[in-house]
Structure 1
């Protein structure tokens, strides 16, 4: 079993993690700028990123891109809403660098979870999603834009020179002009 998968999923027995990892496809590649899936696309796959970075983003009705989240390998990504309810994803996931990934069909994971005794692993993954979501929401409620920018720099230093500033600005909830001011003050 992949050491990267073990790093991304440190919970459960060796047998459970091995059974879980066997549900994933062979490693595939995506080029920088390509979409793992599009907004409104029904996508019932859970993805494991073994190399690269992605961003979750929403395209608003007026054509504006809003960055929801960044993720870096090794990690799991996908749209819980689309996987669980078989409806269009509320966001797209874009490769910010060349990407290596595997995927597993979520309904198949659920179908086999009982026999493979991997429900505890699924619960762990869902807990991680909820924890990250809570942290992000709390940051918007309790931190100013400058603090959110500093958190971004600490969490994603490798993205600073990889992505356009408007993506960072939308992620921390400010305009590009406001981000320029924040960056000028912090340098």
Structure 2
């Protein structure tokens, strides 16, 4: 589990004492492709450290059309943060797009230790800040960039993901149809040649 500690330390260093306190709280879990980390309409209780694989966060509109909000690629933290923070039911399910290995921890058990371990509280704040910035960046991309620009940003942010997951998931994330994505990719490949 040193990889989790290294990941945390890259965000905000935590002491050996803190690590020894929280490491036993993590439990290993495997998800098969299409398994859910968290479903819609339930209260979230856990966060997970994604050691291997890819998970999508998505929502479904009234017409049952799905929209991919985010992809999480290992190494990454996943969880229904709004539900965890508010205690309300989750509206954005998270589903494995590949086989995944996770290390899962009860959020309240971790949060309970914030007052005793200030480096852990600082880590939690830094992670929240990172996800806020990432969310704002995605909102600006969707509003200000055209489909080609959004695809190029996606390709840079998630290299080789387009080889691992269905194209309709990528199209949904980019806010375009699968047909538009296919045309865009064909056009870009011709420009490279």
Q: Does 1:127 align with 2:129?
A: yes
Aligned residue for 2:59?
58
Q: Deviations over 1:17-50 (max 9, x none)?
A: 6157426322111111111111222112111111
TM-score, normalised with respect to structure 2: 0.89
More displaced 10-residue stretch of structure 1: 75-84 or 150-159:
150-159
Local SS of the residue matching 1:160: helix
Report the RMSD for the aligned CA atoms in angstroms: 1.8
For 1:101-120, what aligned pairs fall within 5 Å after superposition? 101-117=102-118, 118-120=120-122
Alpha-carbon separation, structure 1, partners of 2:148 and 2:21: 40
SS at 1:66's partner residue? strand
Aligned equivalents of 2:8 and 2:188: distance in 1?
32
Q: Taking structure 1 as reference, are residues 16 and 134 closer, same or farther at Cα in structure 2, changes over 3 Å only?
A: farther
Count of residue correspondences: 187
Q: Where does structure 2 lack aligned partners over 5 or more consecutive residues?
A: none
List structure 1 segments (4+ residues) > 4 angstroms apart after TM superposition.
none
TM-score (norm 1): 0.91
For 2:43, what is the secondary structure of its paired residue? coil
The 1:120–1:8 alpha-carbon spacing in structure 2 relative to 1, beyond 3 Å, is closer
Structure 1: runs of 5+ lacking an equivalent: none
Who is 2:7 aligned against?
A: 7
